[in-house]
Structure 1
């Protein structure tokens, strides 16, 4: 019985660790500035589960209704896109901490079960 708990704990821990590495790499690339803000906005908008954010083209159309100067339109669209990107980045960081907490908890639980079930 004990080997089953140990194997399950190791498998869950490894899966959580792989997920954590994937999230860290993804967040690192997106937060590094290697991707321009337009592409990053579209990537985050597509990844968002709600799907309520307008496309970049729609943002430009909305901004064009309120401003007539091209510089003001670009500035407003960029500000809105960067605010959205920042809010999504904070969600990604929070999710990484949740995965770390779950992984540590599972490993601790597997260790407790193993120690409690082993004969002394």
Structure 2
């Protein structure tokens, strides 16, 4: 009914109507294994039925570990999503992590002597 009405109006008014083709949308996300974004979301739009073929990007210090979604296909009426998940190549080690005996500073003779002196003073006072 709509198309017929537009056709009659275009004939009466001598107007050429150009119908806009609907577009499909594909959102691409680049995340790490914790779900944090490594890059901004990329959105690609094209006519419904047009084909796409997406490849992952290289992110320095990370390796691709998982792909969720379709990397190649056609644009659909409903929005589509593609997730590239990356893992950090090397985890940084904290410099100041203390475990076991490392919790105590290096004891030299002066420090040890000072501690003994304090213990003697405390014992005589108490």
The structure with the largest strand share of the pair is: 2
Q: TM-score, normalised by structure 1?
A: 0.28
The structure with the largest helix share of the pair is: 1
Between Structure 1 and Structure 2, whose CA radius of gyration is higher?
2
Q: TM-score, normalised by structure 2?
A: 0.27
- Which structure is higher in RCO with an 8 Å CA cutoff and minimum separation 6? 1
